């Protein structure tokens, strides 16, 4: 289907077209589920004159509002673009090679943007720019997920999962009520088929979103990007098939609480709200200080060999390969 839609288009135009199609798909599901809840499920099972009916209507409204707000923030927020005036700190600037190569693995040079970029950043082919703490480019939100909007992406997955599960539970309760009251399908109208169809679709989406939410939560607690985790798995796989083991310490891991702060913000009271801006310079990741970069350096131990791990930041070639 994707090949048919993007036939004859350039790669960039094809990616944009796929993203638009996914957004239309999500919007259709969102609108249809909202109509099912407020137009069929609540009126028939509870009625708006009851306290339970009003509570369910309010709760679903709050959940879907938080989900949509998180989505819009992810889509419309700058993910953390590396500016052209960025330069490496003085203590490592002298270590840069003439052509932008890096001896200390503390900085990188982007050949596409022609700029120096901080560690953990990478160039996104779809967006055409370098992004701080680059995680991945998400076609569902038509934007990169980076240092400045990773919080909103996680909240979109979180509230999307909760909203999907809540819709599914409400639908099951509604179906039980229909069977108990021996209501005929003709009495319920054509929306009965739509409710059932949406139930199946939402259940599938809830499993997908739930899995991604748990996975992203794990990465946030460890202060890892998807690319870094991929590299770590690659090293672990090589270790299993090699006599010489490579020991790697992720030097950005400063404890689960500070790791979470670096993505969700300093104040825990706002962690679950799609508000605020996570300030970052690409090195400290949330104003945590230089120790967040230099803590826990890679160590060589007896019987092991040291590797060019992502946990010294990725080389420009490796980073761009995974993002593209």
Q: Tell me which residues are annotated as active site.
A: 138
Distance (Å, whole) CA 23 – CA 86? 33
* Ramachandran class of 45: left when φ > 0, alpha when ψ lies in -120 to 50, beta otherwise: alpha
Distance (Å, whole) CA 250 – CA 237? 17
Burial class for 204, CB neighbours closer than 10 Å (0-12, 13-18, 19+):
exposed
Retrieve residue 72's tokens. Answer: 């819009």
The angle formed by the CA atoms of residues 84, 85 and 86, to the nearest 5 degrees, is 90
Distance (Å, whole) CA 53 – CA 56? 5
* Count of all residues that appear for the chain in the document: 324
Distances 140 to 143, 170, 207, 217, 321 between C-alpha atoms, Å: 8, 26, 16, 19, 21
Long-range contacts of 90-97 (CB under 8 A, 24+ apart): none
Task: Give the CA radius of gyration of the chain.
Answer: 24
């Amino acid at each position: 289907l994707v090949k048919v839609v993007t036939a004859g288009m350039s790669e960039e135009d094809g990616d944009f077209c796929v993203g638009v199609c996914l957004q239309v798909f999500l919007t259709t599901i969102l609108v249809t589920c909202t109509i099912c809840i407020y137009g069929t499920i609540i009126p028939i099972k509870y009625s708006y004159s009851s306290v339970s009916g009003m509570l369910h209507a309010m709760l679903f409204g709050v959940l879907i509002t938080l989900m949509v707000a998180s989505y819009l923030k992810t889509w419309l927020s700058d993910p953390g673009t590396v500016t052209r005036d960025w330069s490496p700190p003085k203590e490592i600037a002298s270590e840069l090679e003439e052509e932008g190569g890096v001896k200390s693995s503390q900085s990188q040079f982007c050949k596409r943007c022609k700029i120096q970029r901080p560690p953990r950043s990478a160039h996104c082919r779809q967006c055409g720019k370098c992004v701080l703490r680059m995680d991945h480019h998400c076609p569902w939100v038509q934007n990169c997920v980076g240092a400045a909007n990773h919080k909103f992406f996680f909240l979109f997955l979180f509230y999307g999962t909760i909203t999907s599960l809540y819709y599914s539970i409400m639908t099951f309760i509604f179906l039980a009520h229909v069977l108990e009251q021996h209501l005929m399908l003709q009495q319920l109208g054509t929306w009965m088929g739509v409710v059932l169809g949406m139930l199946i679709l939402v259940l599938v989406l809830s499993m997908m979103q739930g899995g991604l939410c748990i996975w992203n939560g794990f990465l946030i607690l460890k202060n890892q990007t998807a690319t870094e985790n991929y590299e770590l798995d690659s090293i672990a796989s090589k270790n299993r098939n090699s006599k010489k083991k490579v020991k790697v310490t992720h030097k950005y891991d400063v404890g689960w609480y500070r790791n979470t702060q670096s993505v969700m913000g300093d104040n825990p009271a706002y962690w679950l709200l799609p508000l605020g801006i996570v300030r970052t310079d690409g090195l400290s990741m949330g104003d945590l200080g230089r120790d967040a970069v230099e803590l826990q350096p890679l160590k060589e131990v007896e019987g092991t060999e040291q590797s060019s791990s992502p946990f010294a930041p990725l080389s420009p070639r490796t980073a761009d390969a995974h993002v593209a």
